[in-house]
């Protein structure tokens, strides 16, 4: 029995040894095979590379221009794709809002509007149930009728643009003029007629204190009592363009979707006829708050209302603490024009400048146009390329017309005084507010001179606005 066990044990041990020897031999063979295949592959690859290098056609070296063209084509393709993505995002945001506000599901919304997600369509639709309130601020000018007549003439319908008139001053004749329009508008009256106690030099600015008080109250009423989501603010001394409402309707989705924007204005501070292109479709971004017919959202008002100033609200709103590096949209050709020579500013700038502003007289269907080029990422790339790609010229060259190119040109300023000198020579407004020149964007003021686009620009390494420039 013991002998049999020993014999089996010896047999198993021999079998195990043989198996291990075979496995070890096979492992060595596999390693040798792997090394052999690797070596052959390396040799073949080296031979191919040598062959290609030796037989490379002569005279066909690296072509820099071709590479540049290919890179530019790739850049254009990427920009097109980004624009398509942004357009799709705007469509999706619009549909999301419709779902939330109407309770309809996606299928129903697409049945009502089959083009809602069509990227070939330039139109970004606004929910028909949306409305943009219009807030008209009035005081003691019966000429408010001139403004009201135009607002009611060009307003597409009452539901889309409900009109609120807020009156200060308790001026009976003006109240009667406003009430003569009946239910075409809603009249609210600023209740605080108390005097504002001021001392010293402040006394002569009392009118500005009352205006700021009225603005704050009226905006609170508009966004809280009437629960408006967005409002267009106008004053009682403005003429408006035929496409005034279409302008704001078309830009409404852009304002709502771009967090780097905080207002849309109908006004170009440098909008004299000689300084603008004859193209009513042109729109721009600006770091300067223009006012004179402007649109803001409730979200922005909630941000401003708790710190609303006692006076000079427009200068206050231009300060960095309020602007927060955000921009507004402005037109090339103004959609408003002031006829108010008499007011608290005593005609400041009116005779010299404001009365020469060109008012647009052509209707542009902005709500049917693709305006996504105004979104910051799209706009800044094209804008800076245009500005700093334009050849630099001197003021003397520009004034004398001794410029060889027919395209846009660039004037460079480095100091506040050099800016003011150039601006004065060309009929531009010279002042700064919190370091920002009127209509300026990234320090650049864009205008026309003798049918040529001119950029009055800081150096390309510009670091930002200097708030000491006033």
Active site residues: 314
Distance CA(126)–CA(84), nearest Å, equals: 19
Please report how many Cα atoms fall inside a 13 Å half-sphere around the Cα of residue 384, on the Cβ side. Answer: 11
What would the 3-class secondary structure string for the chain be? Answer: CHHHHHHHHHHHHHHHHHHHHHHHHHHHHHHHHHHHHHHHHHHHHHHHHHHHHHCCCCCCCCCHHHHHHHHHHHHHHHHHHHHHHHHHHHHHHHHHHHHHHHCCCHHHHHHHCCCCCCCCCCCCCCCCCCCCEEEEEECCCCCHHHHHHHHHHHCCCCCCCCEEEEECCCCHHHHHHHHCCHHHCEEEECCCCCCCCCCHHHHHHHHHHHHHHHHHHHHHHHHHHCCCCEEEEEECCEEECCCHHHHHHHHHHHHHHCCCEEEEECCCCCCEHHHCCCCCCCEEEECCCCCCCEEEEHHHHHHHHHHCCCCCHHHHHCCHHHHCCCEEEEECCECEEECCCCCCCCCCCCCCCHHHECECCCCCCHHHCCCHHHCHHHHHHHHHHHHHCCCECCHHHHHHCCCCCCCCEEEECCCHHHHHHHHHHHCCCCCEECCEECCCECCEEEEEECCEEEEEECCCCCCCCCCCCC
- Backbone CA torsion sign across 223, 226, 227, 231: negative
Give 433's strand partners.
436
């Amino acid at each position: 029995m013991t002998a049999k066990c020993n014999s089996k044990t010896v047999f198993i041990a021999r079998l195990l040894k043989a198996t291990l020897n075979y496995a070890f031999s096979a492992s060595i063979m596999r390693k040798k095979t792997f090394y052999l295949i690797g070596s052959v592959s390396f040799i073949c690859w080296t031979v191919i590379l040598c062959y290609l290098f030796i037989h490379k056609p002569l005279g066909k070296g690296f072509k820099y221009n071709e590479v540049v063209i290919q890179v530019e084509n790739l850049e254009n393709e990427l920009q097109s794709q980004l624009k398509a993505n942004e357009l799709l995002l705007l469509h999706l945001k619009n549909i999301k809002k419709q779902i939330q506000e109407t309770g309809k599901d996606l299928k129903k919304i697409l049945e009502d509007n089959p083009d809602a997600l069509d990227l070939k369509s330039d139109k970004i639709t606004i929910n028909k149930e949306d409305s943009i309130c219009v807030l008209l601020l009035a005081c003691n000018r019966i000429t408010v009728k001139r403004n009201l007549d135009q607002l009611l003439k060009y307003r597409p319908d009452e539901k889309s643009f409900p009109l609120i008139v807020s009156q200060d001053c308790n001026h009976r004749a003006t109240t009667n003029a406003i009430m003569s329009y009946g239910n075409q508008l809603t009249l609210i009256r600023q209740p605080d007629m108390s005097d504002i106690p001021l001392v010293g030099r402040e006394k002569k600015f009392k009118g500005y204190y009352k205006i700021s008080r009225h603005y704050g109250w009226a905006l609170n009423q508009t966004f809280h009592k009437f629960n408006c989501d967005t409002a267009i603010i106008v004053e009682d001394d403005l003429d408006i363009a035929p496409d005034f409402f279409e302008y704001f309707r078309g830009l409404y989705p852009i304002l709502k979707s771009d967090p780097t924007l905080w207002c849309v204005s109908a006004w170009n501070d440098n909008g004299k006829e000689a300084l603008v292109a004859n193209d009513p479709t042109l729109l721009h971004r600006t770091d300067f708050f223009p006012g004179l017919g402007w649109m803001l959202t409730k979200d922005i008002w909630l941000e401003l209302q708790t710190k609303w100033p006692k006076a000079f609200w427009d200068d206050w709103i231009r300060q960095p603490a309020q602007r927060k590096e955000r921009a507004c949209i402005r037109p090339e050709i103004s959609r408003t024009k002031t006829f108010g020579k008499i007011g608290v500013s005593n005609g400041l700038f009116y005779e010299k400048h404001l009365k020469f502003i060109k008012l647009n007289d052509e209707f542009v269907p902005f709500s049917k146009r693709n305006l996504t080029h105004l979104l910051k990422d799209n706009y800044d790339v094209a804008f800076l390329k245009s500005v700093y790609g334009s050849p630099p010229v001197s003021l003397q060259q520009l004034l004398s017309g001794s410029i060889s190119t027919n395209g846009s040109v660039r004037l460079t300023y480095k100091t506040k005084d050099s800016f003011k000198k150039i601006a004065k020579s060309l009929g531009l407004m010279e002042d700064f507010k919190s370091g920002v020149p009127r209509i300026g964007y990234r320090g650049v003021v864009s205008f026309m001179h003798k049918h040529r686009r001119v950029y009055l620009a800081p150096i390309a390494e510009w670091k930002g606005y200097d708030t000491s420039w006033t």
